[in-house]
DNA sequence: TTATTATATAATAATCATTTTCGTTCTTTT
DNA sequence: AAAAGAACGAAAATGATTATTATATAATAA
């Protein structure tokens, strides 16, 4: 945790920014919720627990800064809010997501899976890929199980 | 064009809705701009040219309805507005997009490209895929050319 | 050390997209 | 025709995000 923060601090310095207490508090919340997909408001409320004097605008500014530096990725699942996702250290590309249309859960896929697809796109569309967003909408395992149980009860 | 509208009319009827004049005007705009990626506001302004009495809320309601019926797909490229994309007739899946981070242009990929990836995801993650969103961010051919020219001028 | 400058901040206020409300109109059913 | 239901337009409300403004803090120059 601490060394991770140290490295982020260096990334900020390299880009000419400082890790202010507010920024550190925000980064800590993101690190403590690496599995989640927090909205700006979510982050704000969590940061506020430890540092009640922080402002919402500061959280937005910090998240924007971290996005610029590719420390976090901003993603939108179509529910009207942007969510912020800590990028795995050393990951070249943004990871993928599985969004359950029944329970709303979001799972992550860290595997790349797109190498071949990207080769095809770069070759056939002459498009230089810098980043990608891949989200699957469907039914998670848990919800599939629930359906199966309901079927059994009927019989 | 007319038969396409007829089929959409049937889809609405099947779901218990009517193709009112306002809805028809909206659908026509979408058909006439199949290549574009219009925002609700864009659609509103275009519909207004032919039917000035239409309200913005009606356009939003219509786009929402068409999204529900999978006639259009709602997509968000991260610029704060939702865009509405007519789904190709008979297409099982939503098509993919190439967004240029320099000029903002959006190109479409109609090829599926994800068959294998989806097989892997359904098998390994036990996730029943219903739909997907795949967007590549990068540099379009035209912008690459522009860069190349700039390089030549320097030399 | 003191003055100056730049950066970052909290607390608003403002903006912009989208949704909701509500009174009206148009259709369908009785 | 009367009643009920669906759809509408205009305006108000909402909610996420950004801009503004006045302070504070830190870095630099005098
Ligand atoms: Zn689920
Ligand atoms: Zn994620
Ligand atoms: Zn371009
Ligand atoms: Zn498209």
How far apart are the CA of B3 and the nearest CA of chain A, in angstroms? 31
Note whether B108 and B73 are within 8 A (CB).
no
Give the tens place of pLDDT for each residue, B110-152: 999 999 999 999 999 999 999 999 999 999 999 999 998 888 8
According to the model, what pLDDT value does residue A109 have? 96
Give A146 Cα–ligand 3 centroid separation in angstroms: 46
Q: Could you give the CA distance from residue B75 to residue B43 in angstroms, rounded to a whole number?
A: 14
Note whether A12 and A23 are within 8 A (CB).
yes
Residue ranges, CATH 1.10.10.10, chain B: 1-90
Q: pLDDT class for A116, splitting at 50, 70, 90? A: very high
Question: For residue B95, how many other CB atoms are within 10 A of its CB?
Answer: 18
Q: Which of residues 56-75 of B touch strand C (CB under 7 A)?
A: 56-57, 60-61, 64
CATH code linked to domain B92-155: 3.30.1490.190
According to the model, what pLDDT value does residue A150 have? 86
Using the beta-carbon criterion (under 8 Å), do B130 and A116 form an inter-chain contact? no
Query: Chain A contacts of B82, Cβ < 8 Å?
Result: 78
Domain B1-90: top CATH class: mainly alpha
Q: Could you give the CA distance from residue A77 to residue A123 in angstroms, rounded to a whole number?
A: 29
How far apart are the CA of A4 and the nearest CA of chain B, in angstroms? 28
**What residues of B are designated binding site for Fe cation?**
115, 132
Angle at A41 between CA A40 and CA A44, to 5 degrees: 90
What does pTM read for this prediction? 0.91
* DSSP states of A84-145: EEEPPTT-SS--EEEEETTT--EEEE-S---HHHHHHHHHHH--EEEEEEEEEEEE-HHHHH
Residues lining strand D, beta carbon within 7 angstroms: A 18, 39-41, 56-57, 60, 64, 80-82; B 17-18, 20-23, 53-58, 61-62, 80
According to the model, what pLDDT value does residue A87 have? 93
Average pLDDT over residues A107-112: 95
Give A96 Cα–ligand 2 centroid separation in angstroms: 7
Residue ranges, CATH 3.30.1490.190, chain B: 92-155
Among A69, A93, A70, A95, residue whose Cα is nearest residue A17: A69
Q: Could you give the CA distance from residue A3 to residue A13 in angstroms, rounded to a whole number?
A: 15
Give the tens place of pLDDT for each residue, B35-91: 999 999 999 999 999 999 999 999 999 999 999 999 999 999 999 999 999 999 888
């Amino acid at each position: 945790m601490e060394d991770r923060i140290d490295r982020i601090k260096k990334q900020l310095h390299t880009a000419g920014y400082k890790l202010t207490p507010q920024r550190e508090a925000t980064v800590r919340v993101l690190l403590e919720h690496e599995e989640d997909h927090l909205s700006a408001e979510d982050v704000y409320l969590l940061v506020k627990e430890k540092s009640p004097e922080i402002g919402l605008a500061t959280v937005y500014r910090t998240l924007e800064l971290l996005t610029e530096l590719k420390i976090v990725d901003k993603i939108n699942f179509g529910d009207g809010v942007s969510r912020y996702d800590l990028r795995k250290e050393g990951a070249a590309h943004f990871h993928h997501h599985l969004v359950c249309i029944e329970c709303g859960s979001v799972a992550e896929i860290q595997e790349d899976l797109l190498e071949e697809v990207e080769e095809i796109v770069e070759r056939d569309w002459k498009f230089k890929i810098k980043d990608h967003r891949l989200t699957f909408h469907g039914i998670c395992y848990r919800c599939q199980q629930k359906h199966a149980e309901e079927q059994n009860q009927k019989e």
